[in-house]
Amino acid sequence: MGARRASGNKDGDRRIGRRALIVGGAAAAAGTAVLARDELARLWWRVPGVEKPREPGAVDHAGARWVAASDANWRGADRPDDFGIDMVIVHVTQGSFDSAVKAFQDPGHKAATHYIVGQDGRVTQMIRELDVAYHAGNRDYNERSVGIEHEGFVDRPQDFTDEMYEASARLTARICARYDIPVDREHIIGHVEVPGTDHTDPGPHWDWDRYMQLVRRARTGTA
């Protein structure tokens, strides 16, 4: 009787093992199918001729005004899923706010940033953060950064107003919060610091110490 009992347990174990394998395999297959479906649902828009849907006029920064840049000055993406965002790049327009907007709406300009901050503190968004803006002059840096233009000229320190610094710092702090970007000078840089660029902005009169202090303060408030 004991031997039969042992033999019966082995058969039962085998049956349970086969059943677990079948059930486990089915569950794994189902899980794989769900992942594949989710991936297809997220990436279907990359099929040639299909565009990812956009909500007209949507902005990523509360209080920003939406003005669309020319399609020639950016490319559609699905950041941070396809390209991680780990950097903010500071630019200066070398012109007026309106001239920067006009340039970014010009398909022949071949460049644009995600945001423009005016001397009065107004913020205009021209490209969604999930998309890649042509602003850094370096493909890798374009794909992993958000670009912010500031109205003014690099050789005129008076152009960098209190309102501009504070509005830009709030914007940068919220970008850093969204993508868990460290608030330091390795991840918040000037255009001049991008490898291979021939630009000098934001120039010697941009007060980095003041700006980083404002960003840190705003980041703490955001957290």
Q: pLDDT > 90: what percent of the chain?
A: 73
Q: Do 9 and 119 fall within a single domain? A: no
Strand partners, 88: 146, 188
Q: Do 119 and 149 fall within a single domain? A: yes
Q: pLDDT digit string (tens) for 95-143?
A: 999 999 999 999 999 999 999 999 999 999 999 999 999 999 999 999 9
Q: Do 102 and 202 fall within a single domain? A: yes
Which whole number is the average pLDDT over 39-51? 53
Q: Do 148 and 200 fall within a single domain? A: yes
Q: Is residue 186 part of a domain?
A: yes
Q: Do 83 and 118 fall within a single domain? A: yes
Global pTM reads 0.78
Supply the pLDDT for residue 63: 94
Q: How many domains does the chain have?
A: 2
In angstroms, the Cα distances linking 130 to 58, 127, 136, 144 are 12, 8, 16, 10
Q: Do 42 and 73 fall within a single domain? A: no
For the chain, helix, strand, coil in percent to 5 are 45, 10, 45
Three-state secondary structure along 132-181? EECCCCCHHHHHCEEEEEECECCCCHHHCCHHHHHHHHHHHHHHHHHHCC
Q: Under a CB-based contact definition with an 8 Å cutoff, are residues 148 and 93 in contact? A: no
Domain that holds residue 35: 2-46
Q: Do 38 and 69 fall within a single domain? A: no
Q: Do 194 and 93 fall within a single domain? A: yes
Q: Do 106 and 20 fall within a single domain? A: no
Q: pLDDT > 70: what percent of the chain?
A: 76
Looking at the predicted structure, is the pLDDT value of residue 83 above 90? yes
